[in-house]
Amino acid sequence: MAEDNAVTVYGSNAAITDAKKNPFSIKVGMAQMLRGGAIVEVTTVEQAKIAESAGACCVIVSDPPGEGISRMPDPALIKEIKQSISIPLIAKARVGHFVEAQILESVGVDYIDESEVLAIADEDHFINKHNFGTPFICGCRDLGEALRRVREGAAMIRTQGDLKGSGNVVETVRNVRKVMGEIRRLNNMDEDEVFAFSKQIKAPYDIVAQTKQMGRLPVVHFAAGGIVTPADAALMMQLGCDGVFLGPEVFSFADPYKRVRAIVQAVRSYNDPAVLAQASSGLEDAMAGLNLGENRVEPFGTPSTY
């Protein structure tokens, strides 16, 4: 790998190293600017303006949902939204599609999300993100996947849950807890065990060792999927995430500004139940849908004998 992948910019006492020797650290530093915020997915200029006015730290642009293959958003839409707002903008590229990433970088997006939510362009290879000056965001469902993406050059990790826009947060909670649980296991290992653990999770040893040293992922860590209430967002923050992604489903509510604003407040004050209660008040018209799959519902029948 051309760059030194050690992340040296995390923490209040760390400094960015020489950009010529370690440009990756600059991109990680740019991603850290989004810590403690909510990133809102938008499909129109109007939605982007609502997200900005509600306090979102960034918007992520996607094409309106439709039939067929999901690809990167229209560059014309990206430029129109970028001109209408003052906060950073993310755009999605398909996994492995480095030409889409080249196009997005050329139109001036602030971050690129190599998104498994879109159709996958390359089943075997991810984009070599070190070839780009724009910071990349990648998804994961466990620690090994997260650290492999960091090795490829991801400056932010997005632990992904629900992909259907159902408002069901259970899969996101499961995956975030899995990542955090694996980090806690790693923290309690001695050096010999770290070698075996890195093989087990199929991640580079040096980044696994760095994760152990830091006690967390070496890059910014957000959660995504099913987060539609202030309580959902605060839950992700209390589990150890640095921020949250909000899907386009937040715009299906009667007052999307009020809901996004409430979630932004929850992210900022996630440890204050009084603020969370106030933010959660008056958010009626909850999304319809069943939160429990059939395999998660406990069958009721003849009581067990103890």
Which residue stretches of the chain have pLDDT < 70? 1-22, 66-67, 164-166, 284-306
The predicted structure's pLDDT at residue 11: 46
The predicted structure's pLDDT at residue 165: 63
Question: d(Cα 222, Cα 38) in Å, to the nearest integer?
Answer: 9
Over residues 170-228, the pLDDT tens digits come to: 999 999 999 999 999 999 999 889 999 999 999 999 999 999 999 999 999 999 998 99
The predicted structure's pLDDT at residue 8: 43
The predicted structure's pLDDT at residue 191: 87
Amino acid at 147: L
Catalytic residue of the set 27, 82, 92, 212: 92
The predicted structure's pLDDT at residue 117: 81
Question: Is 79 tagged catalytic?
Answer: no
pTM across the whole model: 0.84
CA distances for 169 relative to 58, 88, 108, 129, 243, angstroms: 21, 26, 32, 29, 15
